[in-house]
Amino acid sequence: MTASISGTARVAGVAGSPIAHSLSPMIHNAWLNAAGLDGAYVPFAPSPAGFEAFIQGLRGGVITGLNITLPFKEAALALADAPTPAAQAAGAANLLLFAQDGTIIADNTDGIGLLAAFGEQAPGFDPTTAPVVILGAGGAARGAAAAFLAAGAPQVRVLNRTLARAESLAEALGSRVSPLPLSDAARALDGAGAVINATSAGLSDTGGFEVPLEATGADCVVMDMVYKPLVTPFLATAQALDRRTVDGLAMLIGQARPAFAAFFGQPPPAGVDVRALALKSLGQNERT
Ligand code: ATR
């Protein structure tokens, strides 16, 4: 992939299970190549039972760091010695850094990626002016809720099929979070500045998961963390209603930027269209 790997190359990677479909190696290596850096970014698929031993073996800076993806994000946070406030608030790490002294630092750049995606695709969106609705109460939803709270959202309404999970998320994140059942969606969407699908239901069209997006105001921004397909049924419904939409691919690239800087000591180079590369590898076209 890169012609510039020497014996002193900086090596980083991504760990998940499964990992074969991760776009992160393609994104980071495109940036490495364009910047002419002596480095590599490689995929790792430890078994769930072997994840802890794998991470412990990396203490001391064998590699500079790892992105962490499903199903290891919570376990990664638990293994780290020094979590950042972002990782603590999200209850999960998408980034581990291996310091020379053996310390493992856990961070989470998903929130930065989420807000960057809004900045890019819904310019002028202000998270401080109206409540934000988050669909789902798993790890992805908690990270999104934490990011919007940190960005100053006056209220985060967490809607989940299983209300108890939304309630425990609210308990973890404080009084600006309101847990609600999915049956309250129309009421929750009324007056919302943004609504984000953080459930895994969008992964298939057969989720049987209906959200009354017509209850949103004309200015409400609709986001789906799922990026395959790029325009999910949820985003297609929003577009049919003329709502501005934000896609999950913008978030994926947005979380990768600060990770690259942490691994390789400089921000990704400008002028590389990693979105086009990612779309090509997904077999998708840019939305029109
Ligand atoms: P992650 O950590 O990636 O967020 P997760 O913890 O498995 O994944 O959470 C998946 C989320 O999608 C949950 O909020 C789940 O709702 P429940 O807590 O009620 O299980 C939600 N979800 C998945 N499939 C769904 C469906 N068909 N309809 C509604 N919600 C769904």
Q: Is 140 in the pocket of ligand 1 (CB under 6 A)?
A: yes
d(CA 197, CA 199): 6
Under the banding of pLDDT at 50, 70 and 90, the label for residue 156 is: very high
Q: Is 168 in the pocket of ligand 1 (CB under 6 A)?
A: no
d(CA 112, CA 125): 15
The predicted-structure confidence for 106-144, as pLDDT tens digits, reads as follows 999 999 999 999 999 999 999 999 999 999 999 999 999
The catalytically annotated residue of 28, 73, 243, 257 is 73
* Cα 146 to ligand 1 centre (Å): 17
- Known catalytic membership, residue 280: no
Fill in the DSSP letter of residue 152.
Answer: T
What pLDDT score was predicted for residue 201?
Answer: 80
The predicted-structure confidence for 58-85, as pLDDT tens digits, reads as follows 999 899 999 999 999 999 999 999 999 9
Please state the pTM of the whole predicted model. 0.95
Q: Which two tokens stand for residue 158?
A: 């967490």
* Cα 228 to ligand 1 centre (Å): 17
The minimum-distance atom of ligand 1 relative to the CA of 142 is: 4
Taking phi over 0 as left and psi of -120 to 50 as alpha, with beta for the rest, 211 belongs to: beta
Domains and CATH numbers, the chain: 10-108+253-282 (3.40.50.10860), 111-246 (3.40.50.720)
The predicted-structure confidence for 224-263, as pLDDT tens digits, reads as follows 999 999 999 999 999 999 999 999 999 999 999 999 999 9
What pLDDT score was predicted for residue 166?
Answer: 98
